Structure formats: C-alpha cells, structure tokens
Amino acid sequence: MSKPPRSSALLTNVIEVDGRRLPVTVRHNPRARRFVLRVDLTAGRICVTSPSRRSMPAALSFAREHKDWIAEQLQIVPDAVPFAPGALIPFRGVLHEIVHEAGARGTVRVEEASETALPKLIVRGDEKFLARRLTDWLKAQARAALNERVLAHSAQVGVRPKRITLRDQTSRWGSCSSSRALSFSWRLIFTPPHVLDYVAAHEAAHLVHMNHGFRFWRLVAELMPDYRAAMKWLENEGPGLHRYGSETGFFESADLAEA
C-alpha cells in the first residue's frame, strides 16, 4: 500500500524503560518538521524521526526525555493470543474457537457454529505441533483467497502481476514493486472478506498507477466501490490482528511529536 517517505537509519541505541532495555532507532527524514517518537512493539522497536542529520543525537535525547510516555504506552499492551486449544481467533472476520483433536493425521478443518457454540477450527495431530500446523493452514487459506481476488482485479485493469508472495509484515498490509511483484500480509485471512478484497484491489490498482494520485483512487473505486468501509475497518481493527499467534503480545504503534 502507501510507501513512507525515503529515510535511512543513521543511529541506533538502547534506552531503559521500567527496567526493560529497548532498542531505539533514529531515522533522518528531510520531510519531517520536528522530532516524532514512535513506539511500535509489533515490530519490536522504538523509532525517532529527525528532520536533519545534525540533530540525530538530540533526537535520541528526545526519546530518553519521554521515557515516562513510553512506559505509559507499555501499560496498555493487550494480551497475546497464542494458537492453543480454547483460544478464540478471527477467521475471515468471524471468531472461531481453536480445538485440538487427537489423531494421526495433522489436518485442520472448519466446523460451523451451532445454536450454543462458536464455529471451530479443529486441528488434528500431535498437540505440540498445533500452532505451526494452524499457522501453515491459515497462510494457505490467505494465499488462495488473495491469489483469487488479485487475479480477478488484475484482469479488470489489464495488467497481470509478476508474482504474489505472503509475508508477516507489520508496516503495511500489501505492497507493489516496480517489477509488478505483489506482497501481502498473511494476517489478512483474519479480516472480513471485503477487507481482504480491498487490499487485493488496492495493490492491483498499483499495477497501473504506482502512486496515490486521483487516477489511482478512481481505479480503486471502479474495482471496489465501497472501499472506504474496508479502509476504516483496517484503520480501527488492523493493528490488533498482530497479537494472534503471538507468544509475547503486540503493540499498536503510538506517536508523540515534538511540540
């Protein structure tokens, strides 16, 4: 999806917050007007944006001066939801309960909801391999869904992608390179189908327009007229999807700009 302005990591260090040693990276971005401190434990880092190279040390000091603010953010980290029996995770936008079922074959199947129970993701095989097996299955489901929707949208725009890959990226849900290679977060399988479809349409539109100008958004609207609802869903709910399948929790990025 949208690419951030070019910047380069010029300075790395460690700061201590409530007894925890956390890595901090200072990046120079000539488009920045002031220091901006970002706490992003989804990616496991603290970043400070500096408007000039000469102010790099001052940017690092800015982070140290706001350790209390960083500590406040750490207090609101939601719990992780590892893939384990009894856990509830969203699949195609609907909460499912993970159930382990003993059996020789390591398979995953979906059981529909009943009047008294949520739908289930039933994972067979040795329980110690449940998390890996379910992760692999979810990625396969994401790949199939994204391939289908990307190819449908790319057929409409008349440009076929060179390849489609899946990653566990935290900074964006999808991306398109100048060589027409598309990449998506496999966690889109957690979202409602119309949200996954929007991200597929967004990146398919980039096969024609490598920018976010008027013509790009007009094409997105042609591919998916109600795309704004999906954008809003991702804005509100997307960051929380990184906690599923995690052992250590996640953190929605929070920014603090210099006054």
From first to last of its 259 residues, the chain has per-residue pLDDT tens of 544 444 444 677 888 888 878 888 888 888 888 998 987 655 556 888 998 888 888 988 999 999 998 888 777 666 789 999 999 999 999 999 999 998 778 899 999 999 889 999 999 999 999 999 999 999 999 999 999 999 999 999 999 999 999 998 776 899 999 999 999 999 999 999 999 999 999 999 999 999 999 999 999 999 999 999 999 999 888 878 988 986 544 444 555 666 4
Give domain status of residue 14, yes or no.
yes
Query: C-alpha 240: how far from its chain's center?
Result: 9
Domain check: are 51 and 121 in the same one? no
Using DSSP, state whether 258 is helix, strand or coil.
Answer: coil
Q: Tokens 């795309």 map to which residue?
A: 227
Domain check: are 155 and 211 in the same one? yes
Q: Tokens 């929380």 map to which residue?
A: 240
Domain check: are 127 and 146 in the same one? yes
Domain check: are 170 and 126 in the same one? yes
Give domain status of residue 112, yes or no.
yes
Distance CA(198)–CA(13), nearest Å, equals: 38
Domain check: are 119 and 223 in the same one? yes
Domain check: are 239 and 252 in the same one? no
The DSSP output letter for 81 is B
What is the number of structural domains in the chain? 2
Full domain range(s) for residue 35 = 8-78+248-257
Give domain status of residue 1, yes or no.
no
Domain check: are 51 and 23 in the same one? yes
Distance CA(26)–CA(48), nearest Å, equals: 5
